[in-house]
Chain A
Amino acid sequence: MKFGIIVFPGSNCDHDCYHMVKHVLGKPASFIWHKEEDLSGLDVVLLPGGFSYGDYLRAGAIARFSPVMKSVGKFAEEGGLVLGICNGFQILLEAGLLPGTMLRNRSLKFICKDVHLRVDNINTPFTLDYFENQIIKMPIAHAEGNYYADEETLTKLQKNNQIVFRYSGTDGRITDDVNPNGAAGNIAGICNEQGNVLGMMPHPERCGEKILGGRDGYTIFESIVHYSEKILNKR
């Protein structure tokens, strides 16, 4: 199985994702320049964090027009796995591959720190190795992570079990005081209805090795591998 990492001009977690996949997970990975359109041969597309186009306007607002995004849309439609992390999540929202939008953090500041998440849906290709309602620790690093969607969308997300990660206390409670950025419903990550597109603000690639203080992020990449192997076995 092969991972493709999309490189926008201002991506800055592209190398971190590459390191995670190639050297920690031990799977093939390649960089895809945002002006390319060919995603053939890939099983997973990663949209890494960063400031795709400087994000002076609104994070991800310009990146969605990059030539590669049309191909990413098609790739997702055909069932390929797409994982957008941080700025990648923002781009998926702007591109309409996931519902909702991002507002500035309610503190109006960039926030970089470890937070706790509750895994609310383990029936996605990205989370099947977690256990139900597992509490995990992962860093966030963003200025625009305040997820917003109208009531109707939020209800739908809830009903379809599309909310994958929520900011939580270490005991799993979902309260305002453990919400770092003001996100609606403490939402940290959501998937599409089919479950093959995941967007998340926290950075799993930053916590895949013990030396970095934890391995909770590794499980996402491991899940992807296990899911893909299962699919292959079925075939």
Chain B
Amino acid sequence: MNDLIKQHNLTEEEYQRIIKILGREPGIVELGIFSVMWSEHCSYKSSRVHLKKFPTTGPRVLQGPGENAGAIDIGDGLAAVFKMESHNHPSFIEPYQGAATGVGGILRDIFTMGARPVALLDSLRFGELSLPNNKHLVSGVVSGIAGYGNCMGIPTVGGEIYFDEIYNKNNLVNVFALGIVKKDRIFKGVATGVGNPVIYVGSKTGRDGIHGATMASDVFDDSSEAKRPTVQVGDPFTEKLLLEACLEVMNADLIVGIQDMGAAGLTSSSCEMAGRAGTGLDLHTDRVPTRETGMTPYEIMLSESQERMLIVTEKGKEAEVIGIFTKWDLDAVTIGEVTDTKRVRIFERGVLVADIPADALTDEAPLYNRPVAPPPYLEILRDIDVENIPVPSDLNKVLLTLLSSPSIASKEWVYSQYDHMVRTDTIVLPGSDAAVIRIKGTNKAIAMTTDCNSRYCFSDPFLGAAIAVAEAARNIVCGGGEPAAITDCLNFGNPEKPEIMWQFQEAVEGISAVCRKFNIPVISGNVSLYNETNDISIYPTPVIGMAGIIEDVSKRMTQYFKKEGDIIFLIGVNREELGMSEYLKEIHYKIRGVPPQLDLDLEKKVQDLCLLGIKEGIVKSAHDTSEGGLAVTLAECSLTAEGKNKGAEIELNDDIRADALLFGETQSRIIITVDKANAARIRNMASDMNVPMTLIGKVGGESLIVRHNSKELINIAVQEMSDAWRNAIPRQLGE
């Protein structure tokens, strides 16, 4: 028996709790159900106490955390529904299917709410690209995302991808999806109305993905690849049919409640629907369409086969619902009904095989306030002697090295494999600070971004997470958007270690602090713990997905220099900050120091000026400085698509050492360009708003030239930068 409990990843204490709840020993089906519902992945048992700290309300919020996805009011009677989710563990074991089903899962979360998904973004972390296994993982994950999203016809419009050896054995695949719905037509995952039928729709149930959620709630070791059978297999074509059929059923007013079967499959969808509604459910596993014969109730309840949904409709409307799914060649079978028992009861050929109080699985799941303690390495990590780091003599070479480091280099190799234009709404294509899609039938657009610098979080998780939110907002602003709300995907190591829980707690507080200051609510999210292999944990990686609203679609913005002679301004101030920078890592092989400071008042002012400049039609390009500092930011402004590269001449006069000036990652800075005729106007705006802003140069020429107190530090042909930047990733992949 002890072995059985262990196999189910339950502690002795949790097992005793099950006995107390049931008043008896659990049967095998019940044990399976408890194990997945109480897994970290489904129950958030280690994280829930902290997640309560997030600000989750605001005038735009229509749905906060707790449903399949969050929703905000974007005006015109519409809502944007969005969420981000991780598929880290399966993507490491089987990169193509792991990533593909990650996309499938988040899309179901969106259309379960009644929204048609209109955009995807991916935040990816891999180990060093030079290692063969990482090449395999990168290629597999990217083609998995492409294979699913492209077939569904939902554009993958942006995201981020970083490479660091810390992710060698634990890559991260976080997928963000956003959908649009009429705001009075949002559907929820509730099983209400005693006697209402419960209909199973979509793919047949197979033996794939059993215990996927449990697998995702455990650390890895060298034998992790043997866990491949716990990874599900995706079928985007069926999901496309499911999407269209579900939206059709919703339009026909046939839905009481609807929930997708994601992690923990039929178990979690049924328990959560009953739990939310305060009702009970009777389900008959022998009625569930299966892919093979002889599946046990245990397997049926725990399968994570993809592309399935559970629908509660009104009694008497079953035939109409089933008719629509039949049109789309999908299975639809009534497998049970809503009861007033407040219990989830599972029958197999009339025999009761599980009988559990619904709230025992959700509300009464274990809740841990795990011990926290700062990690012992912090003091050493944060200590840095900058004086002993020499300023390289050839700064051109430094810039070219940084431009060709995979984390900074062009991601065209990735996004050209994604259909980023389908739906004909993508009006700022991948490669700029924020992706922008228009909303047809309105004058609006939505800007989206995902952000996190996990190296910052490693040194200071509070500050690193705060910077992730601030940078996300800055990116939205650089796209012309008003930051509206965030979703988050919190990727951490083993929560049973106090230093990991400390990182988690700090990160949550960092996110909360900036969200409160900027009035940006957290409307949905996901936690992925146990990202750890052989006792080595990933850097804390709290990824922020943010959406912003552009009221006038003509006021969207990109980062690229537009015209020779345009004046370049730097909004914000330069400081001497080198800690945890890409420059230190790539050039001096040092991962040391503290992240750049974040002055929230300054940050807000910088963003306000930039956004006003865009709204007034003065600003012609806007790009925030991040990894690689000012020099990389300027280079990126120069490098546009299709040989329209434009150089620039820059003069800086700060009293800062040259490498810190060029490559330091001081926050709250945006590079903008304006027409010469508008230079005075933007200056007046800056001084009226009391925002520091400096004229640093003008657009033009074939080279990027940067002078510091009249001394030339950088002088590189744009074409040379372009080659280094564009070809780095394909070259490293040997293509």
Contact = CB atoms under 8 A, between A and B. Distances in A.
Interface of A: 9-13, 15-16, 19-20, 23, 49-51, 53-56, 109-114, 139, 141, 143, 203, 205-206, 208-209, 211-213
A205 to B, nearest CB: 7
Nearest to A180: B416
Contacts of A143: 150
- Interface centre among B147, B153, B553, by most chain A C-beta atoms within 10 angstroms, is B153
The contact size tier of chain B is 20 to 34
Q: Which 9 A-B pairs have the closest CB atoms?
A: A12-B153, A54-B237, A51-B151, A141-B419, A16-B424, A112-B419, A110-B417, A110-B146, A113-B416
Nearest to A111: B416
Given A19-B440, A51-B236, A211-B553, A9 B241 contact: yes
A13 B422 contact: yes
A157 to B, nearest CB: 28
Given A112-B421, A213-B429, 9 more contacts: A9-B328, A10-B237, A12-B153, A19-B424, A54-B151, A112-B416, A113-B416, A114-B642, A211-B427
A180 to B, nearest CB: 10
B420 interface: yes
A211 B153 CA distance: 20
Contacts, number: 88
Contacts of A50: 153
Contacts of A54: 151, 235-238, 240
Contacts of A206: 421-422, 424
Given A53-B237, A54-B235, A113-B416, A212 B143 contact: no
A101 to B, nearest CB: 21
6 contacts: A10-B151, A10-B241, A16-B423, A51-B236, A53-B237, A141-B419
Contacts of A49: 422
A9 B240 contact: yes
A112 B418 CA distance: 6
A189 B414 CA distance: 27
A141 B728 CA distance: 23
A55 B152 CA distance: 12
Nearest to A13: B422
A49 B153 CA distance: 9
- Interface centre among B151, B423, B641, B642, by most chain A C-beta atoms within 10 angstroms, is B151
B668 to A, nearest CB: 31
A2 to B, nearest CB: 21
Given A9-B241, A51-B240, A114-B642, A211 B422 contact: no
A15 B423 CA distance: 7
B438 interface: yes
Contacts of B641: 114
Nearest to A14: B153
B329 interface: yes
Given A110-B150, A112-B416, A211-B553, A12 B143 contact: no
Contact of A141 (B237, B238, B244, B422): B422
A53 B328 CA distance: 11
